């Protein structure tokens, strides 16, 4: 797999002393170990993450991960297509809510 940008977590920054164990797991396991594994590119991991968050209806996390996906080389068009695709499997309300997050993110940043 070609070199990819190192993925960094923000657990310690966002959770700090309030939830130190969750901060540690976020930074050291989720990002350092899993996100930086050699088997998948950061782009692929971002698409998977957006799909899973959409399917689960987890819109509070979705905005961050849509932005990270763009940073990891996923185009806005591909993200819209991914959310559309997941909508037909996960359900209209979840897909519509996820697309609402994408609309807000992409129109606010353009």
pLDDT in tens, 58-68: 999 999 999 99
Is residue 94 a contact partner of residue 87, using CB atoms and an 8 Å limit?
Answer: yes
State the Cα–Cα distance between residues 96 and 100, nearest whole angstrom: 6
R_g of the chain, CA atoms, integer Å: 14
Taking all residues of the chain, what is their mean pLDDT, rounded to a whole number?
A: 89
Count up the domains in the chain and report the number: 2
Query: Which structural domain, as residue segments, surrounds residue 18?
Result: 10-39
- Whole-prediction pTM: 0.84
- CATH number of the structural domain spanning residue 69: 1.20.1290.10
Predicted confidence at residue 94, as pLDDT, reads: 97
Q: Do 62 and 110 reside in the same domain of the chain?
A: yes
Residue 81 inside a domain? The answer is yes
Q: Which pLDDT band, with edges at 50, 70 and 90, does 2 fall under?
A: very low
Beta strands in the chain (DSSP E): none
Q: Do 91 and 76 reside in the same domain of the chain?
A: yes
Residue 31 inside a domain? The answer is yes
Q: Do 48 and 62 reside in the same domain of the chain?
A: yes
């Amino acid at each position: 797999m070609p070199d990819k940008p190192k993925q960094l977590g923000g657990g310690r920054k966002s959770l700090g002393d309030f939830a130190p164990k969750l901060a540690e797991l976020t930074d050291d396991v989720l990002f350092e170990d899993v996100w930086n594994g050699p088997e998948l590119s950061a782009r692929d991991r971002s698409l998977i993450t957006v799909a899973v968050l959409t399917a689960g209806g987890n819109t509070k996390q979705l905005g961050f991960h849509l932005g990270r996906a763009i940073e990891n080389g996923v185009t806005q068009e591909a993200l819209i297509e991914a959310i559309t695709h997941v909508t037909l499997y996960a359900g209209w309300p979840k897909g519509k809510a996820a697309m609402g997050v994408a609309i807000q993110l992409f129109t606010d940043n353009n």
